């Protein structure tokens, strides 16, 4: 359990500088046997791993959870006075932006080099992928045969007119998909693909879950979504009539993104922060992480949850996920030009 003082902090906002100063004070003076994490991932996903780390090392993990935007602004406002040693969030685009804003620092680690593939982390380990979030094509098992599907690009073909549902382009998941396509296909070809999607689009959604339910209900036949959303629905309803198609298997592979972590620029417990991130990349922690949210392990030596194994193996796109951040602005502009809202 977190202390009363630390739970008070989670209710604070970033409205004024004095309030920020109070939040730092509320966390208490740094202790030699602890590390403090700012996490955009909710408590139930991170606490089992933190508890395992504490049991293994004796180092206590304190954590503050909030939306990534709030954490980003908090780190900027706190500057060198931040109590945070580690920043955890989802999407390589968010991690890249934190790195570019000077909020994270790199470190050398043979453990990370061994456990996490190079394309899933920053070159200097300023951020490190901890789980993989595959975003393949999903389709109705009642109205679509898998032989009709092939690539992300082919979803712009006339056969899918009025049959495609999409997640809003305002969501970072979409922006990262388009950004990595720009990296691989070039901006002109990617815009052609996106315009094809829009021509075939039935409806845009703000939620992957609602989008998948729309496919099941017959509002559309195909979509692009993160696998863990389908896993959650399938656990609740084993007969849920939507399944996965792994696109681009004869080419670049399935688009993947990450959740990840970085050591903050002004970490007071840098060595322990690195130790925690190394532990989170290990098989022990990766199994806990993958099972908690049905994500794929970033460590290739670790098998995913059995539910995910039922969908079969797939070739993943190995483009450097840093492109999700570096080309995010270009992706947003492209979507605007194509009329993708």
Distance CA 306, CA 242 (A): 18
pTM value? Answer: 0.89
CB 267 within 8 A of CB 75: no
Per CATH, 4-133+257-309 and 134-255+313-338 having the same topology is answered yes
Percent of the chain with pLDDT over 70: 91
Mean of the pLDDT values across residues 267-280? 98
pLDDT at position 289: 78
Mean of the pLDDT values across residues 327-338? 98
**Residue 97 clears pLDDT 70, i.e. is over it:** yes
**What does the domain layout of the chain look like in residue ranges?**
4-133+257-309, 134-255+313-338
**Residue 20 clears pLDDT 70, i.e. is over it:** no
User: Selecting from 3.40.190.10, 3.30.2320.50, 1.10.10.10, 3.40.1010.20, what CATH number does the domain 4-133+257-309 have?
Assistant: 3.40.190.10
pLDDT tens, position by position, 208-244: 999 999 999 999 999 999 999 999 999 999 999 999 9
Tell me yes or no: is domain 134-255+313-338 CATH 3.40.190.10: yes
CB 229 within 8 A of CB 246: no
Which range is least confidently modeled, 31-35, 192-196, 214-218, 245-249? 31-35
Distance CA 50, CA 295 (A): 18
pLDDT at position 288: 86
Q: What is the mean pLDDT of the chain?
A: 91
Q: Nearest-CA neighbor of 253 among 145, 150, 118, 138?
A: 150
pLDDT tens, position by position, 119-138: 999 999 999 999 999 999 99
Distance CA 149, CA 138 (A): 10
């Amino acid at each position: 359990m977190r202390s009363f003082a630390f739970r008070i902090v989670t209710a604070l906002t970033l409205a004024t500088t004095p309030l920020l100063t109070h939040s730092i004070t509320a966390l208490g003076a740094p202790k030699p046997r602890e590390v403090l994490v700012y996490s955009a991932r909710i408590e139930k996903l991170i606490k089992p791993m933190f508890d395992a780390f504490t049991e293994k090392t004796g180092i206590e993990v304190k954590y503050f959870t909030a939306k990534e935007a709030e954490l980003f602004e908090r780190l900027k406002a706190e500057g060198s006075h931040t109590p945070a040693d580690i920043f955890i969030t989802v999407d390589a685009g968010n991690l890249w932006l934190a790195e570019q804003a000077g909020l994270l620092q790199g470190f050398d680690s043979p453990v990370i080099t061994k456990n996490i593939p190079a394309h899933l982390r920053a070159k200097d380990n300023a951020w490190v992928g901890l789980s993989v979030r595959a975003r393949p094509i999903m389709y109705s098992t009642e109205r679509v045969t898998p032989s009709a599907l092939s690539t992300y690009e082919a979803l712009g073909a006339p056969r899918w007119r009025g049959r495609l549902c999409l997640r809003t382009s305002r969501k970072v998941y979409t922006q990262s998909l388009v950004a990595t396509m720009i990296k691989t296909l070039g901006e002109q070809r990617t815009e052609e693909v996106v315009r094809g999607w829009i021509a075939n689009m039935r409806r845009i959604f703000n939620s992957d879950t609602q989008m998948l339910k729309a496919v099941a209900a017959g509002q559309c036949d195909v979509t692009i979504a993160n696998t863990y959303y389908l896993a959650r629905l399938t656990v609740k309803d084993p007969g849920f009539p939507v399944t996965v198609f792994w696109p681009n298997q004869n080419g670049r592979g399935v688009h993947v993104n990450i959740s990840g972590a970085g050591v903050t620029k002004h970490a007071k417990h840098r060595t322990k922060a690195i130790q925690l991130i190394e532990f989170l990349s290990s098989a022990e922690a990766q199994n806990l992480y993958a099972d908690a949210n049905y994500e794929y392990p970033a460590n290739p030596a670790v098998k995913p949850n059995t539910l995910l194994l039922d969908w079969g193996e797939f070739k993943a796109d190995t483009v450097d996920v840093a492109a999700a951040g570096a080309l995010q602005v270009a992706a947003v502009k492209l979507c605007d030009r194509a009329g993708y809202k």
